[in-house]
Amino acid sequence: MKTISGRVIKAVASKFWVDTDDGVRVCFARKKLKADGAIYVGDRAEIVRDRDACVIEKVLPRANALVRPYVANVDVCLVVVAPEPEPDLLLADKVIVNCLAEGIRPVLVWNKSDLEKGDLAEYNGVCETLECSAETGEGIDALASSIRGQTACFAGQSAVGKSSIINALLDSPALEVGELAKKIKRGRHTTRRAEIIPLGEGTYLVDTCGFSMLDAVDVPPEELRLYFDDFEKFRPECRFNTCLHLDEPDCAVKAHLGCGVGRGRYERYKLIYAELDDRRKNKYD
């Protein structure tokens, strides 16, 4: 039996689409790989032809993985926000923490700049930021250069325009896009599952479903600060080297609120910290 390798680009029910040098093959999975989470979109896999069907035999070790959205082997994650629906920066900050913990480069993208310009100054020193409009094409070239040759996953709330940006990056639109008004009324998500769209020259785009709830990654609460680069640069000036920037005296992060540290970022840090702390308490209660 000939083994060929490829990348899982789509999964529907028990079928997997695997992109190989010979084109895309629709595969089933070996029984041992049927458990939830055994195969993610983005996984690199070995497949064999077994009688008439192609079968995934083995999943290669993952470089990294995200759980919201479920996707593996990502280089960069475009965290998309827009003037409408109202930006949920707590969600964006959690996605950014999850990316940094997994070694994925986060980029915060303000889409729909045709409707309203974004103000992402708070994210200076946190991650790269970009503004674009899938509608007018503004900023799309800059976004394309930022992700060239990489696997780029689009994440964020429903209706911010993830699929629309991917369509703008493609020569001809390939993805279904939903209407905001209809979505709000019906609470409908247009994209139902993660899917990889190869863009050529080693660039892969991962479209995902919108989400509004996310657990921050499972890091001990004391380590959360390590994923806030904008705070970390002031830590040497805090009185205590172990400062969590919460109730400690002479905290340099608090001293820089509004001038070097965004007040919103700080409030969201406290919320994420409290969530991680609660989770730990529940674990040991």
Ligand X SMILES: Nc1nc2c(ncn2[C@@H]2O[C@H](COP(=O)(O)OP(=O)(O)OP(=O)(O)O)[C@@H](O)[C@H]2O)c(=O)[nH]1
Chain contacts with Zn ion (rule: CB under 5 A): 238, 243, 245, 251, 253
Distance CA 279, CA 36 (A): 23
Q: Which is nearer to ligand X, 114 or 277 (CB)?
A: 114
Whole-angstrom Cα distance, residue 152 to residue 78? 7
Residue 151 sits in the site that holds ligand X (CB under 6 A)? no
Q: Is residue 210 part of the contact set for ligand X (CB under 6 A)?
A: yes
Q: Does 133 bind Mg ion (CB under 5 A)?
A: no
Q: Nearer Cβ to ligand X, position 81 or 224?
A: 81
Q: Which of 135, 248, 275, 277 binds ligand X (CB under 6 A)?
A: 135
Cβ proximity to Mg ion, 112 vs 162, nearer residue: 162
Least distance in angstroms from the C-beta of 103 to ligand X: 25
Asked if residue 18 lies in contact with residue 54, where contact means CB atoms within 8 angstroms, the answer is: yes
Q: Which is nearer to Mg ion, 73 or 163 (CB)?
A: 163
Q: Which amino acid is at 219?
A: V
Rank residues 47 and 166 by Cβ distance to Mg ion and give the closer one: 166
Per the omega criterion (within 30 degrees of 0), is the bond before 106 cis? no
What, of ligand X, Zn ion, Mg ion, none, does residue 238 touch, CB below 5 to 8 Å by kind?
Zn ion
Among 163, 199, 225, 235, binds Mg ion (CB under 5 A): 163
How many residues make contact with Mg ion (CB under 5 A)? Answer: 4
Stretch that binds Mg ion, among 81-89, 163-171, 248-256, 268-276 (CB under 5 A): 163-171
Q: Does residue 98 touch ligand X according to CB under 6 A?
A: no
The dihedral through the CA atoms of 267, 112, 10, 99 has a sign that is negative
If the CB atoms of residues 62 and 189 are measured against ligand X, the closer one turns out to be: 189
Least spacing, CB of residue 189 vs Mg ion, in Å? 7
Min dist CB 145 to ligand X, Å, is: 18
Site pattern 153..192 for ligand X (x: CB under 6 A)? -----xxxxxxx------------xxxx--------xxx-
Instruction: Give the binding site for Mg ion (CB under 5 A).
Output: 162-163, 190-191
Instruction: Give the binding site for ligand X (CB under 6 A).
Output: 111-112, 114-115, 133-135, 158-164, 177-180, 189-191, 209-210
